[in-house]
């Protein structure tokens, strides 16, 4: 791995770790003050416009979208509208740290779906063991809501919504990894956010959320943070990682983000985990470490699995 690639890899991972680790807290605050789908729709519409403005400044032209609308539509609907629509809806009831811990399952889905496509990546036996361990931890985490010993302590439907969002996120990640697009990362990310944001706005208005909208300072500050840092900066970094790192390395954010989210949820919102949730958390994180640790070590001895054309990288 050449020094420039390694530096960009470290920078993108750090951005995704830190910014997305704080995004659960910001989303929890935002949906506590503003209707969820309009909150998410405005955020991603603004982020898409900002990124396309940057891409325009770098030389992007709207004519370049010809032939790319299928990719933009799939990524916008699945990777933005479905994922974030489910997440913001669920975080109206779930603690931010619970949402973050359930999102750790993204790492397992990314590895499993990474078995398919022209850039398939075959996991080792240890990685597959980690997948099974991680799913077991997820089952422990949602067990109280499913009628376990502490039934009633959590809401099963919002937790299942977050898990479904994780599946959609993994599908979008692997789709992005395998497509052949001539668009730069910033232009492609901006276009898919604009599409996804528009879909969320339509759904929000259809649900009658406009009547619940009000100018809340905490909600608007949360939206500003998520728009600029989480949507524009971190999504662009993640899009680069999806094309230039293995699925296992991309999935490492799955065990860093929950730790950051848990700490922030405790410090800012006073959230606490039950004993069974701590057990599920430990099992999930053990599984994600098993998934990612061997791939990280292997990556230090070989070239990165991706050699994306220059036209696919940020300009």
Q: Which helix (H) or strand (E) holds 39?
A: helix 36-57
Q: What is the pLDDT of residue 283?
A: 80
- Alpha-carbon distance of 27 to 154, in angstroms, equals 19
CA distance 273 to 114: 32
Instruction: Judge whether 196 and 136 are in contact, CB under 8 Å.
Output: no
pLDDT for 31: 94
**What's the total number of domains in the chain?**
1
Using alpha carbons, select from 231, 109, 237 the residue that is nearest to residue 174: 109
Sign of CA dihedral 278, 164, 26, 225: positive
Tally of CA atoms within 13 A in the half-sphere of 155 that contains its CB: 12
Torsion angle of C-alpha atoms 168, 173, 177, 181, degrees rounded to 10: 80
Residues 6+ apart with CB under 8 A from 229: 19
- Residue 90, both tokens: 């669920």
Q: What is the pLDDT of residue 219?
A: 92
Whether the Cβ atoms of residue 253 and residue 20 lie closer than 8 Å to each other: yes
List the pLDDT tens digit at each of the 315 positions of the chain.
Answer: 688 888 888 899 889 989 988 999 999 999 999 999 999 999 999 999 999 999 999 888 888 888 888 999 999 999 999 999 999 999 998 888 888 888 877 777 877 777 766 666 666 777 777 777 877 777 776 666 544 544 444 478 898 999 999 999 999 988 887 888 888 888 998 999 999 999 999 999 999 999 999 889 999 999 999 999 998 899 888 888 877 887 667 766 766 787 788 788 888 888 777 777 778 778 877 876 776 664 444 444 434 333 333 333 333
Residue 221 tokens read as 């500050």
The reported pLDDT for the residue numbered 128 is 74
Residue 2, pLDDT score: 82
Written as six digits, the tokens of 12 are 């993108």
| β strands within 72-206, DSSP E | none
181, 68 contact by CB (below 8 A): yes
The residue range of the domain holding 112 is 3-312
**Rounded Cα distance, 314 and 186, in Å:** 6
């Amino acid at each position: 791995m050449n020094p420039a690639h390694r530096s960009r890899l470290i920078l993108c991972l750090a951005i995704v770790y830190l910014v997305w680790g704080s995004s659960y807290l910001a989303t929890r605050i935002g949906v506590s003050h503003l209707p969820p789908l309009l909150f998410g729709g405005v955020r991603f519409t603004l982020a898409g416009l900002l990124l396309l403005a940057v891409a325009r400044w770098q030389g992007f032209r709207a004519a370049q979208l010809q032939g790319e609308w299928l990719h933009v539509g799939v990524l916008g609907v699945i990777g933005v509208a479905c994922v974030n629509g489910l997440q913001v809806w669920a975080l109206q009831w779930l603690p931010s740290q619970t949402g973050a811990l359930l999102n750790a399952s993204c790492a397992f889905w990314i590895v499993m779906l990474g078995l398919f496509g022209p850039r398939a990546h075959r996991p080792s036996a240890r990685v597959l063991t980690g997948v099974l361990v991680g799913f077991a931890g997820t089952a422990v985490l949602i067990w109280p809501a499913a009628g376990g010993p502490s039934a009633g302590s959590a809401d099963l439907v919002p937790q299942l919504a977050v898990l479904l969002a994780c599946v959609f996120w993994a599908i979008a990640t692997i789709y992005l990894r395998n497509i052949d697009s001539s668009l730069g990362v910033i232009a492609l990310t901006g276009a898919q956010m604009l599409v996804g944001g528009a879909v969320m706005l339509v759904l929000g208005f259809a649900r009658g959320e406009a009547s619940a909208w009000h100018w809340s300072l905490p909600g608007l500050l949360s939206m500003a943070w998520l728009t600029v840092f989480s949507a524009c900066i971190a999504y662009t970094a993640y899009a680069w990682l999806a094309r230039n790192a293995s699925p296992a390395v991309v999935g490492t954010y799955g065990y860093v983000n929950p730790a950051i989210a848990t700490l922030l949820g405790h410090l800012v919102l006073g959230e606490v985990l039950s004993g069974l949730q701590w057990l599920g958390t430990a099992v999930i994180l053990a599984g994600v470490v098993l998934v990612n640790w061997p791939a990280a070590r292997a990556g230090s001895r070989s070239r990165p699995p991706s050699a994306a054309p220059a036209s696919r990288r940020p300009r």
